[in-house]
Copies of this chain bind each other. A is one copy, B any other.
Amino acid sequence: MNDVLPGSVGLVRPQTFHSAAPLPLKSGAVLPEFTLVYETYGMLNADASNAVLVCHALSGNHHVAGYTDAADQEGTLGWWDNLVGPGKPLDTNKFFVVGVNNLGGCYGSSGPNTVNQKTGKLYGADFPVVTVEDWVNSQARLADHLGVQSWAAVVGGSLGGMQALQWTLSYPERLQHAVIVASAPKLTAQNIAFNEVARQAILTDPEFYGGHYYEQGVVPARGLKLARMLGHITYLSDDQMAEKFGRSLKDGALKYSYETDFQIESYLRYQGEKFSGYFDANTYLLTTKALDYFDPAESTGGNLDAALASAQADFLLVAFTTDWRFSPERSREIMTALVHNGRRVSYAEIDSVHGHDSFLMDDAQYHAVLRTYFEEVVL
C-alpha cells in the first residue's frame, strides 16, 4: 500500500480481533468477551521486534495513518498521518505500527454502541466503566494475537501517553520504549473539573435517557456539543486563540443578540456541532472517567517514584510550552520519578503555540525529536 501517495501508508482497512476469553476489569466487573478494531501499517519483521503500538486520546481511534474507505470515517486521513508513514518520523519502512480503537470506543471496538451478546441489545449505559489499566490489558491480548511478545515502542499523546506509561507498569517486559507526549501522571482537580462539566452537559441532556438513547432513536447532541466546545478551549492555548481569533467579528459588526458576534464563538459552535454528529456520548463519558481515574501512584500513597519503580522501558517524554491542559510541569513529574528510578529518559520541551493540540501538529522541532528517537531504536 505504501506506494499510493509518497510518504503515505495509503488506503488502509480496519481489522478485527475478537477475544473470547473474559476480561476482568479494574472496577471488579468482567467483560465476558470483546472485540478490538485495529489498523496496521508496515510489515512485522521475522522476529516480531519492530512493532509499535499507537494509543489514542479522548476522541481518537484506530485510524492513525493513511486514508480509509470505512463508512464511519470515509476518506479521512489518520489522526497522526503527519507522523506515521514511510519516511515519516515513525517510519513504517522500519516499524510495524498498530493503531487500535480502545474498549468503550465508538469506532467498532466493543463499547456502548455495540451489541451486548448477553442481551442481544446495544450496551448503552450498561457497558462497564473501563480504565487505562483495562485498555492496556486488552491491548496485550491484541499483541498476543499479532504475535508481538514485546513492542519496540508504545506511543501516545495525552490520554494515549497515559496508556504508554501504564504499559511500562503492567507489562514492563513487553516494551522497549515508551513515548509519552503531552501527558500527565494523573489529572489535577482542575482537569477533573473540566471533565465533570462536560459529563454533566451530557448526563443532563434530556435526550441522554440514562445512556439508553439509541433505543429512543435520538442522541444527546446538545450535551456532546457543549462538552466538545469546552474541550476545545482546553486544547488550544490562550495565546493561540488570541492570535487566531482575537476579538475578530464574524460578520463585521456587533449584533446585540445571542447570535455569533465573534469568530471564536463561530469556531467553537462549528467544532461542537461537527463532533456531536459523529462521536458517541457514552464513549465520551466513559473516556473522561478513564482520564480521571488514571493515577499510578494511587496504590503507593501518592509516591510516584515508588509507583514507577517496576518500569523497565526507556522513555521519551515530550511536552509543549503553551499546553495548559497538561503543562510541561506534569511531564517533568514523570521524568523526575523515572530518573529517581534510574531509567533512561529523554525529555524535550517544545516551544509551540498550539497548546495541548501541539501533539497532533506537524511541528518541525517536535517531529525532529521523534524522528531521531525512533531512528535510534535498535530492533
Q: Is there contact, CB below 8 Å, between A254 and B293?
A: yes
Cα–Cα distance between A296 and B293 once the two chains are bound (Å): 45
Residues in B with CB closer than 8 Å to A247 are 186-187, 189, 192, 295
Residues in B with CB closer than 8 Å to A232 are 193
Q: Residue A229 contacts which of B187, B190, B200, B246 (CB distance < 8 angstroms)?
A: B200
Q: Using a CB-CB cutoff of 8 Å, which residues 200-244 of chain A contact chain B?
A: 200-201, 203-204, 206, 222, 225-226, 229-230, 232-233, 236, 238, 241-242, 244
Cα–Cα distance between A289 and B238 once the two chains are bound (Å): 20
Residues in B with CB closer than 8 Å to A264 are 189, 192-193, 196
Cβ distance A68 to chain B, nearest Cβ, rounded Å? 32
Residues in B with CB closer than 8 Å to A241 are 188-190, 193
Judge whether A199 is part of the interface by a CB distance below 8 angstroms: yes
Residues in B with CB closer than 8 Å to A200 are 225-226, 229, 269, 272
How many copies of the shown chain assemble into the complex?
2
Prevailing SS type, chain A contact patch? helix
Q: Is there contact, CB below 8 Å, between B256 and A27?
A: yes
Cβ distance A32 to chain B, nearest Cβ, rounded Å? 17
Q: Is there contact, CB below 8 Å, between B261 and A292?
A: yes
Instruction: Mark A240-276 against chain B: 1 for CB-CB distance below 8 A, else 0.
Output: 0110111100000010111001101100110010000
Cα–Cα distance between A347 and B28 once the two chains are bound (Å): 57
Q: Is there contact, CB below 8 Å, between A29 and B256?
A: yes
Q: Is there contact, CB below 8 Å, between B256 and A189?
A: no
Judge whether A128 is part of the interface by a CB distance below 8 angstroms: yes
Q: Is there contact, CB below 8 Å, between B189 and A201?
A: no
Q: Is there contact, CB below 8 Å, between B265 and A196?
A: yes
Residues in B with CB closer than 8 Å to A190 are 233, 236, 238, 241-242
Cβ distance A220 to chain B, nearest Cβ, rounded Å? 11
Q: Which of A201, A225, A295 has the most CB of B within 10 A?
A: A201
Judge whether A194 is part of the interface by a CB distance below 8 angstroms: yes
Q: Is there contact, CB below 8 Å, between A230 and B265?
A: no
Q: Is there contact, CB below 8 Å, between B230 and A230?
A: yes
Cα–Cα distance between A225 and B203 once the two chains are bound (Å): 13
Judge whether A197 is part of the interface by a CB distance below 8 angstroms: yes
Cβ distance A241 to chain B, nearest Cβ, rounded Å? 4
Cα–Cα distance between A295 and B262 once the two chains are bound (Å): 13
Q: Is there contact, CB below 8 Å, between B196 and A229?
A: yes
Cα–Cα distance between A46 and B9 once the two chains are bound (Å): 84
Cα–Cα distance between A197 and B272 once the two chains are bound (Å): 10
15 A–B contacts from the bound complex (CB under 8 Å): A27-B254, A189-B241, A190-B238, A192-B247, A192-B262, A193-B229, A193-B232, A193-B241, A193-B265, A196-B264, A197-B226, A201-B226, A206-B206, A258-B289, A262-B292
**Extra A-B contacts (14), CB below 8 Å, given A190-B242, A258-B285:** A129-B256, A188-B238, A188-B241, A189-B238, A189-B241, A189-B247, A190-B233, A193-B241, A196-B268, A197-B229, A197-B230, A197-B268, A200-B269, A261-B289
Which chain A residues have a beta carbon within 8 Å of chain B's beta carbons? 26-29, 128-129, 186-190, 192-194, 196-197, 199-201, 203-204, 206, 222, 225-226, 229-230, 232-233, 236, 238, 241-242, 244-247, 254, 256-258, 261-262, 264-265, 268-269, 272, 285, 289, 292-293, 295
